[in-house]
């Protein structure tokens, strides 16, 4: 599994769906210098854990928006699958009402670039392409800053949902560091005391506890 922290986020242009609209050329680069981005991957449309995460991001979208952060979902499904799922009511297993974009990584190149693609392609003894497992994305999440650099990543296995609260906390911590130059210790929450990145700063912080 690649560690992308501190590196430029792999850029891409792909088809996406936002609400009822199909976007033929959706690009990550449109947000550079304008917004932070939370790019998250999920295995497949019309599954069980995925809608809980997708709707949770949607329910708390305004909190991300206040932090100048855009949310982008991505799976290996087609734009037509995304559109159908977005038009299916929640009580019937759909995600109707979600307004942020869902990228169609049908060629699996984006999942591969972020190294979250499960399964493995191989060539058998007869020269045929074989696949071990399913070529779908793990539950990867990447926080990308205004310069297009990855500042946080977490990758969960298929059965394990993620924490929206932790994602928001991490954005708060990054923005606090950018504004004040102070580092944020374990479990730091917005409004709490942080510390400078030196021995005296650590001593002062610990002494206040």
Q: Are the C-beta atoms of residues 137 and 104 closer than 8 Å to each other? A: no
Q: Look at residues 156, 130, 152 and name the one whose alpha carbon lies nearest to residue 143.
A: 152
| Cα Rg of the chain, angstroms | 19
Q: Look at residues 86, 77, 23, 16 and name the one whose alpha carbon lies nearest to residue 51.
A: 86
Query: Got the DSSP string for 69-106?
Result: EEEEEEESS-HHHHHHHHTS-GGGT--TT--S-EEE-T
74 included as an active-site residue: no
Strand partners, 102: 17, 73
DSSP-based three-state secondary structure for 199: helix
Active-site residue, selected from the candidate residues 50, 69, 74, 184 = 50
Q: Which residues are catalytic?
A: 50
């Amino acid at each position: 599994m690649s560690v992308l922290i501190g590196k430029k986020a792999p850029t891409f242009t792909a088809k996406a769906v936002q609400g009822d609209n199909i976007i033929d050329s959706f690009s990550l680069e449109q947000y550079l210098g304008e917004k932070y981005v939370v790019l998250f991957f999920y295995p497949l449309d019309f599954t069980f854990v995925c809608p809980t995460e997708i709707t949770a991001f949607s329910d708390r979208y305004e909190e991300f928006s206040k932090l100048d952060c855009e949310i982008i979902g991505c799976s290996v499904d087609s734009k037509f699958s995304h559109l159908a799922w977005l038009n299916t009511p929640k009580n019937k297993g759909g995600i109707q009402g979600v307004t942020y974009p869902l990228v169609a990584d049908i060629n699996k190149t984006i999942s591969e670039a972020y190294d979250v693609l499960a399964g493995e392609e191989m060539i058998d003894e007869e020269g045929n392409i074989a696949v071990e497992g399913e070529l779908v994305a793990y539950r990867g999440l990447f926080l990308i800053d205004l310069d297009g650099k990855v500042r946080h990543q977490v990758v969960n296995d298929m059965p394990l949902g993620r924490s929206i609260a932790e994602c928001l906390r991490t954005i708060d911590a990054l923005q606090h560091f950018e504004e004040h130059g102070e580092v944020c210790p374990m479990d730091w929450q917005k409004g709490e005391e942080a510390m400078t990145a030196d021995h005296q700063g650590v001593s002062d912080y610990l002494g206040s506890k």
